[in-house]
Amino acid sequence: MVLSARIRNPRDGGRHFNLREKTWYSCVIPRCCGYFEQVFAHPVWASSVNEGGRYPLWQHEYGWCQLWNNGDQRYSSHFTTGDLSWCGVGPNGQWMGLDRQVLLSRLEPDFKMTGTLKLEILSRDYAQGLTQTSKHSVIAPQTDKLDLRAQGREMRLRFSCEDVDDTYEMGKILLTLDFGEGRA
């Protein structure tokens, strides 16, 4: 699983198109138009929120805070992976004939970071079932591995950085997954 995250502003909603991966993402930053780094050193986007009769212009992927009207506002950050699930299909795509839970036994983090990150495991028994949140684990710069023994039919991992002065970039996270309990 390869993910990359540098999330800045978790306040507002919107959708954005990733040109390189040719896919849409739900995004928490209200932007209406912009241009990528092929022209400028960093992406430049216009806000979709009218602020006093003006639509601010934002330089993205530069620094760790929002500067506006001589103010400096920093944000905590988080991201959540997609679902991890066998749901009757094994790792090779073969139908197993048994609905199995995912057993997450180890996570090996790969972050360039200052400070710490919090890891929570979100799981549920059914697609529309209630999400259960695990007790959080802490990932520090010197963390080699986390032994977790977490189980769920559908599982997601949420990483969060709550200290606004900390930074992180994610590389390749290694997960040790196995078959958990089954249901007929």
Residue 8 pLDDT: 35
List the chain domain ranges: 14-75, 78-183
Q: State in Å, rounded, how far the first CA of the chain is from the last one.
A: 29
* Structure tokens given for 4: 């990359």
Residue corresponding to tokens 């006093």: 52
CA dihedral angle for residue 62, residue 3, residue 18, residue 25, rounded to 10 degrees: -100
Whole-angstrom CA distances from 179 to 102, 108, 174 are 5, 19, 17
Is the CB of residue 87 less than 8 Å from the CB of residue 95?
no
Q: Is the dihedral of CA 143, 145, 146, 147 positive or negative?
A: negative
Q: Which range has the top average pLDDT, 17-26, 73-82, 171-180?
A: 171-180
Residue 12 pLDDT: 39
pTM for the structure as a whole: 0.67
Residue 66 pLDDT: 64
Residue 56 pLDDT: 78
Tens of pLDDT, residue by residue over 34-72, are: 776 667 777 777 777 787 888 777 777 666 666 666 666
**Which whole number is the average pLDDT over 120-133?**
92
Tens of pLDDT, residue by residue over 83-100, are: 888 876 777 878 776 778
| Rounded Cα distance, 28 and 144, in Å | 31
Residue 7 pLDDT: 34
Question: Residue 76 corresponds to which amino acid?
Answer: S
